[in-house]
Amino acid sequence: DPLTVIHRFCENCTPHEGPHKEKVWEEALTAPSPTILTNLKFHQMVRAREIGKGAFSTVLLYLVTQKGKARSEWPEYAVKVIHPDVLAKYSQNISREIAILRLMPHPGITRLVSAFMYHSECYLVLEYAANGDMFDYLQAHSSGLSEGVAKRALGEVLAALDSIHQQGFVYVDLKPENIVITSTRHMKLTDFGGARPYTAEAEKEVEKSRHAVQELRSGDWKYEGSNDGSVKAEVDHFDESELDPTKMEGTTIYMAPELLRGQYPRVGRCSS
């Protein structure tokens, strides 16, 4: 039972019963849910670095720009970019992954906050776990985990798996690389590409979204925005009185209008 082993992620901590255990468990379950970004566009994101790369996708760290805030305050997301050739071959599998992620609100599971298409690629925007994955953590602690850390990790992983099973799914791909650690040292399961429904009810839910990839909205500014359909309304109706010159760089306000319209300049060469 995860309730008997959950406690603070601390090297010197030992399991506690009573109020301590209940308080920590409550904190884990009531952690703030991520904001679902239903209208997120590609040009609102700033690429920071590559997190990982596999045969079917690349996972990148992106910042989402926020007007009036410094870059250091922009929220971070792990963005899974699925390439066009993979989409063409595995559309049904990816649709299933999207459907399952949308059904998983548990705090022990990385939430899908947005999904869209851009330049024939599929972008799945997920919660970012700032402390990496359990594989890297184990590599950095070659002497092994303390009993407290091991019990904490096990408890949170079991809680997430229990939630998945209660909804009629099996996770399939449990391994250290798919257990990520948040900035507050909580565990989350990620990568649901291998997850499968095992009950009739879950199968029906997945069937409803069998065309999820084809139905994804565009992440291009050109398809949603001002009266001429070229620039997002947020830019058109920007209030100059709110302008802070120190917080413009990287936002839509800073970008050239032709980029917002999808008119990319031709790359040329010049001599010195």
Domain boundaries, the chain: 2-208
Predicted pLDDT at 63 = 97
Torsion on CA atoms 224, 228, 230, 235, rounded to nearest 10 = -80
pLDDT in tens, 161-214: 999 999 999 999 999 999 999 988 899 999 999 999 999 999 999 999 999 999
pTM above 0.75, yes or no: no
Highest mean pLDDT among 15-24, 29-38, 62-71, 137-146 belongs to 62-71
Report the pLDDT averaged over residues 14-35. Answer: 55
173 is catalytic: yes
Q: Are 231 and 108 in contact (CB under 8 A)?
A: no
pLDDT of 35 reads: 83
pLDDT confidence of residue 8? 40
CB 252 within 8 A of CB 65: yes
pLDDT at position 36, please? 87
CA 206/CA 217 separation, integer angstroms: 19
CATH class of 2-208: mainly alpha
- Say what the pLDDT of residue 264 is: 44
- Phi, psi of 253, deg, nearest 5: -70, -30
Catalytic residue among 136, 162, 173, 220: 173
How many residues are recorded in the chain? 272
Q: pLDDT band at residue 3, thresholds of 50, 70 and 90?
A: very low
Query: Binning pLDDT at 50, 70 and 90, where does residue 259 land?
Result: very low
The string of pLDDT tens digits covering residues 102-149 is 999 899 999 999 999 999 999 999 999 999 999 999 999 888 888 888
Q: Is 80 annotated as a binding residue?
A: yes
Q: What pLDDT is attached to residue 261?
A: 44
